[in-house]
Amino acid sequence: MSDIDDMSKIISEEADDALLVKMVVDSFRRTIVHYGYWLSQVEHQLGVEKAAAVEKKAWNVSFGNQLNRLGKIFGFEVKDGVPTHLHKLSREELLDLLKNLGVNWLANDGIWFQAVEKEHGMNDAKRCNDTCWTRYSPYEAERIKELLDLPENGGIAALKKALAFRMYALINKQSIEDVDEDCFIFRMNECRVQMARQRKGLADYPCKSAGLVEYPYFARTIDSRIKTECVGCPPDAHPEGWFCAWKFTVAV
């Protein structure tokens, strides 16, 4: 057995071009998964709030570092922490890009659910899904608060605005009905998931258990005083005009 004085030579000598291309893509995958594991373990060790604060700092440095390096390799400029090409897109192009990113996000969620369901069954898939929402929903609320510079405990107005900036916003049809100045009802009028099931002749997916986590966690992150009540969500019966509805009230 001979010694190897430079392990990197193994890749350069033994990997063909096709394998190198696969390795490039896999490197992105490993980085994303490693990032996720870091977040989950910091949360486990330090708690959700501290993990969110650390992630905010880590992301700004990590993303900027990676983007600048890739920009040098692929020849694109970076301005204000994003590729300059994004600044050159029209409003219509940016909105279309956001819509497609939202569809990708939703598809990714469904792919994960189906992967767990196929291997471990519906119950485990729903348990994983519901637990995921306890993490993702407040995280998304925090990101929106920062992007829009929403105040702490901004009340009903802040929650209305935040709901309009979720990943769902451009891919599902949503509406709001005011009850009074301290209360409103949010309705998901068109849901891509449920409408796809309807087209296939399937019953509504029973998403209420996830919704009972998703919406209260989101609302409380925007304003800790807000209480959430489920008006209706599958498997509940609902009218043709909406799939799920949620009532939000500021406790006064």
225 and 154 within one domain: yes
17 and 132 within one domain: no
Model confidence at 80, in pLDDT bands (50, 70, 90)?
confident
pLDDT above 80 for 52:
yes
pLDDT, mean of residues 58-87: 92
- Domain residues for the domain of 59 are 1-88
**What does the pLDDT read at residue 5?**
65
Report the domain count for the chain: 2
pLDDT in tens, 8-40: 788 888 888 999 899 899 999 999 999 999 999
**What does the pLDDT read at residue 130?**
95
Residue among 213, 163, 206, 153 at smallest CA distance from 185: 163
Between CA 216 and CA 176, with CA 145 as vertex, the angle to 5 degrees is: 55
In this prediction the pTM is: 0.89
Between CA 46 and CA 184, with CA 223 as vertex, the angle to 5 degrees is: 140
At which of 66, 88, 110 does a domain end?
88
Neighbours of 186 (CB within 10 A): 21
pLDDT above 60 for 103:
yes
pLDDT, mean of residues 189-202: 95
213 and 122 within one domain: yes
**What does the pLDDT read at residue 252?**
74
pLDDT above 70 for 208:
yes
pLDDT above 80 for 220:
yes
Per-residue CA distances from 3 to 7, 8, 11, 15, 98 (Å): 10, 13, 16, 20, 52
